[in-house]
Amino acid sequence: MPKAARARGWLEFWNGETPIYANARHKLLHYKSVAQGIALHIPSCSARVLDYGCGEALCASQLAQNCERLLLFDAAPYVRKKLYKNFSEDPRIEILEDTALFGVADASLDLIVANSIIQYVPPNELFDLLAIWRVKLKPQGRLLIADIPRAKGALEDALALLDFGWRGGFFIAALTSLARLYFSDYRLLRRELGFFAYDPSEIEEMLLRGGFHGQRQERNIGHNQSRLCFIAEKSHHSSAIADTSRP
């Protein structure tokens, strides 16, 4: 593995400023689009919602108006510092520190959101996450897994960004961003650490093994409609929960 990839894993990559966003306008429009998409899946104004791997969640205050409690978690300390700065005074928002969610009561969440997350998580670790999420959801709670890349979807991702840039008023910046990403650590890390893409059937099987029944949604969360989005409910039959110790 090249030296740069050894020195920087995915957590280190996200634990600071990254080249992912073309400019500040792109970042804001991205988070606004994501928040609007998540809001459509919140079951009621009394719901408790967890956004797992939320990033900076710039529109969290607006999203929190759709539920009773919004829990935010991101593994990167740099990102959590920004979350505390922006949202620590919002009475509807709680910022979590623990990956394993020890501070969250079992069977207490109505919705868990994992948007643009699983492509960075090896399958064996993803099963561990599914097990944690399953415990924290209410019996009728739902898991929203969104923005899942499909195999050979790099060109579609690029075209989706350019279209978003055209509609959002940052087209030139989007072009420049694509060139910058090509020569950045992000491209190197994708190759060396793994960037996992899935077919719909693979997501369904993975969810089933993790104790969920998943259903693909017509629309993805965010701007990129070439990517996959699933809503999953807990399976209440023990036979549906496979041995997740195997990859």
DSSP state string for 12-43: HHHSS--S-SSSHHHHHHHHHHHHHHHHTT--
The predicted pLDDT at position 246 comes to 39
HSE (side-chain half, CA atoms, 13 Å) at 98? 7
The predicted pLDDT at position 245 comes to 39
Q: Using an 8 Å Cβ cutoff, are 5 and 144 in contact?
A: no
The predicted pLDDT at position 4 comes to 35
* 212 within domain boundaries: yes
Dig out the tokens for 57 from the structure. Answer: 């969640």
Tens digit of pLDDT at every position of the chain (247 positions): 333 333 358 888 899 888 899 999 999 999 999 999 999 999 999 999 999 999 999 999 999 999 999 999 999 999 999 999 999 999 999 999 988 899 999 999 999 999 999 999 998 899 999 999 999 999 999 999 999 998 877 889 999 999 999 999 999 999 998 988 877 778 778 877 788 999 999 999 999 999 999 999 999 999 999 999 999 999 876 444 444 433 3
- CATH code, 58: 3.40.50.150
* 15 within domain boundaries: no
The predicted pLDDT at position 19 comes to 86
The predicted pLDDT at position 237 comes to 62
* 193 within domain boundaries: no
Phi-psi map region of 58: left, alpha, beta (phi>0 left; psi -120 to 50 alpha): alpha
Phi-psi map region of 191: left, alpha, beta (phi>0 left; psi -120 to 50 alpha): alpha
Give every strand in the sheet of 137-148, ordered side by side.
Answer: 93-95, 69-73, 48-52, 109-115, 137-148, 228-234, 212-216
* 115 within domain boundaries: yes
Q: Coil, strand or helix: which one is 209? A: helix
pTM for this model (two decimals): 0.90
Q: Coil, strand or helix: which one is 134? A: helix
- Which of 146, 131, 177 minimizes the C-alpha distance to 33? 146
Say how many residues make up the chain.
Answer: 247
Dig out the tokens for 191 from the structure. Answer: 């190759």
* 53 within domain boundaries: yes
* 63 within domain boundaries: yes
The predicted pLDDT at position 192 comes to 78
Q: Using an 8 Å Cβ cutoff, are 207 and 214 in contact?
A: yes
Amino acid identity of residue 243, one-letter, is D
Query: Domain tally for the chain?
Result: 1
The predicted pLDDT at position 153 comes to 73
Q: Coil, strand or helix: which one is 93? A: strand
* 223 within domain boundaries: yes
Residue 36 burial (10 A CB sphere; 0-12, 13-18, 19+): middle
Q: Which domain holds residue 60?
A: 25-171+199-238
* 93 within domain boundaries: yes
